């Protein structure tokens, strides 16, 4: 197996530099330069410039790789890869844009590397806390280069759960609210941070026991999925073990409460 550790360390440096740019821009952000893709779906010049900087840095790291990007700055669509088949970078330059625009923590740079279709390395850099979460396939997960591990809580009653609210496709809102209500009653509580990348990183670090959300894109979750798995957790779709990377729905947990989470979701989600 290829050792992706050196590449992941370079990736972490690229993500931190991008995060420094975001932090600088946050100090004097101009909300008049925000574009609206939908009522709840914002994009700023900071997203776009950060993505350009990430792409440039990643091309230096691995010139042969293709890209899946949220803002499409590589010239293709946000869901398609540009040239490159063995290696593909999956980039979310600013996960938590709405938080950023409103001056709220938290927001993240999230980048993962696919090698022959498998997640090989990933970094989530949480800008406001200056935390770098890094994972390598088969090599573990780290926060600021200290090893991290999922929590050892064994029941939902001991768990703090994270989720995200839908911002498009509200047709399943009733089902989602029923699931949310069940988790509110069966756990220590439910938190909505506003960044799926942070939610997954914090499951990996043992701060949350679980996370669930639907209507997600690959760039929202790619790095976080690898972080959770390398920290000893489990990531699937809502009701089955299908591919959560491109499956548009994610359940992540410490592994111990995973089936309880799926059972709770399955009571209402069809």
Q: Do domains 5-147 and 156-266 have the same CATH topology?
A: no
DSSP codes joined into one string, 67-133: EEESS-TTSS-TTS--S-SSEEEEEEEEETHHHHHTT-S--EEEEEEEETTEEEEEEEEETTTTEEE
Q: Identify which has the larger pLDDT, 33 or 253.
A: 253
Going by CATH, does the domain composed of 156-266 fall within 3.40.640.10?
no
Asked if residue 220 belongs to a known ligand binding site, the reply is: yes
pLDDT of residue 29: 78
Q: Is the pLDDT confidence value at 41 over 80? A: no
Rounded average pLDDT over 167-182: 88
Extents of the domains making up the chain: 5-147, 156-266
Torsion angle defined by CA atoms of residues 186, 187, 191 and 195, in that order, rounded to the nearest 10 degrees = -100
Nearest to 22 by CA among 114, 122, 116, 126: 126
Mean pLDDT of 184-209: 98
pTM: 0.93
Which class does domain 5-147 fall in? Answer: alpha beta
CA–CA dist 59, 145 (Å, integer) = 24
Report the number of secondary-structure helices (H) and strands (E) in the chain.
Answer: 7, 14
**Picking from 57-71, 81-95, 140-154, 183-197, which range would have the lowest pLDDT averaged per residue?**
81-95
Q: Is residue 86 part of an annotated ligand binding site?
A: no
What's the mean per-residue pLDDT of the chain?
A: 91
pLDDT band at 245; cut points 50, 70, 90: very high
DSSP label at residue 137: T
What is the average per-residue pLDDT within 130-150? 98
Report, as an integer, the average pLDDT of 22-43.
70
Strand pairing partners for 44? 34
Residue 94 among known ligand-binding residues? yes
Residue 43's pLDDT is what?
63
Given a cut of 60, whether residue 80 has pLDDT beyond it is: no
């Amino acid at each position: 197996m290829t050792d992706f550790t050196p590449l992941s360390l370079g990736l972490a440096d690229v993500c931190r530099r991008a995060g420094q740019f975001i932090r600088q821009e946050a100090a004097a952000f101009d909300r008049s330069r925000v574009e609206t893709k939908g009522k709840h779906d914002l994009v700023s010049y900071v997203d776009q410039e950060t993505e350009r900087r990430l792409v440039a840095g990643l091309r230096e790291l691995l010139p042969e790789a293709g890209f899946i990007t949220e803002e499409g700055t590589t010239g293709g669509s946000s869901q398609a890869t540009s040239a490159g088949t063995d290696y593909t970078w999956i980039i979310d330059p600013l996960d938590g844009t709405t938080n950023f625009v409103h001056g709220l923590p938290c927001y993240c740079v999230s980048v993962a590397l696919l090698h022959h279709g498998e997640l090989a390395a990933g970094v989530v850099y949480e800008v406001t806390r200056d935390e770098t979460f890094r994972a390598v396939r088969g090599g573990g997960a780290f926060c600021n280069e200290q090893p991290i591990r999922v929590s050892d809580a064994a029941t939902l009653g001991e768990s703090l759960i994270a989720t995200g609210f839908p911002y498009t496709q509200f047709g399943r809102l009733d089902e989602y609210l029923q699931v949310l209500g069940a988790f509110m009653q069966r756990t220590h509580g439910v938190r909505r941070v506003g960044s799926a990348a942070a939610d997954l990183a914090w499951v990996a670090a043992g701060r949350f026991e679980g996370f669930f959300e639907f209507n997600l894109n690959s760039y929202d979750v790619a790095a976080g999925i690898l972080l959770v798995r390398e920290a000893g957790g489990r990531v699937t779709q809502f009701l089955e073990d299908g591919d959560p990377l491109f499956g548009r729905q994610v359940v992540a947990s410490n592994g111990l409460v995973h089936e309880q989470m799926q059972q709770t979701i399955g009571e209402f989600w069809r």
